[in-house]
């Protein structure tokens, strides 16, 4: 009995030091959802055996790409029927800068970032392929806000979002890559 108590206590102690883990899902309804799959959720807290669902949904981190369909900026830069034809091809999270890159089937790329901002006005970006979306409203409480759109001229074949660089001097680079056979 004493050995069993020791093993359980040691397990609880070691689990505290495990990193938290998240799963990011892309869905057919053009939403991106985040789920907490941390092992800490599986450790009961006395006197209740299990107090949380596993995996635990994180609804405040959800992203609804379809909500952008009504935005004039999106309508002006994507093909007609955006809400009917578009699919999410890839989603990547930059864990340090808390930015999410979303690649769409039409060749467009959206960048969302975690921000608490309201009342931001539209601004012109230096590159005509970049469209600012900072001013586009999202439902209250959601943490990821649209940052900008990279217009697509052809399908995206490779995509990576990186945390490299200083936060105060964030810079985005577009690298057109061509491959001849």
So what's the pLDDT on residue 173? Answer: 55
Q: Is the pLDDT of residue 36 over 60?
A: yes
Would you state the pLDDT for residue 180?
Answer: 45
Which phi and psi angles does 20 have, rounded to 5°?
-70, 145
Quick check: pTM over 0.85?
no
Average pLDDT, the chain: 78
Phi-psi region of 113 (alpha: psi -120 to 50; beta: other; left: phi over 0): beta
- Which two structure tokens, joined as six digits, stand for 20? 């938290």
d(CA 66, CA 110): 12
Long-range contacts of 96-101 (CB under 8 A, 24+ apart): 96/163, 97/163, 97/167, 97/170, 99/147, 99/161, 100/24, 100/32, 100/63, 100/144, 100/161, 101/159, 101/161
Band the pLDDT of 181: cuts 50, 70, 90: very low
Tokens standing for 154?
């052809």
């Amino acid at each position: 009995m004493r050995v069993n108590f020791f093993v359980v206590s040691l397990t609880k102690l070691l689990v505290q030091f495990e990193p938290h883990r998240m799963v990011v899902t892309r869905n057919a309804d053009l939403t991106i959802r985040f789920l907490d799959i941390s092992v800490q959720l599986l450790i009961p807290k006395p006197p209740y055996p299990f107090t949380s669902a596993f995996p635990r949904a994180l609804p405040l981190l959800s992203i609804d790409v379809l909500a952008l369909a009504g935005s004039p900026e999106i309508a002006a830069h994507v093909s007609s029927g955006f809400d009917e034809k578009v699919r999410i091809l890839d989603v990547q999270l930059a864990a340090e800068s808390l930015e999410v890159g979303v690649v769409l089937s039409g060749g467009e790329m959206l960048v969302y970032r975690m921000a608490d901002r309201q009342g931001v006005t539209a601004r012109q970006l230096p590159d005509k392929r970049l469209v600012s979306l900072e001013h586009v409203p999202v439902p209250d409480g959601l943490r990821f806000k649209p940052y900008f759109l990279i217009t697509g001229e052809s399908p995206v074949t490779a995509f990576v979002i990186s945390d490299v660089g200083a936060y105060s001097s964030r810079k985005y680079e577009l690298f057109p890559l061509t491959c001849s056979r």
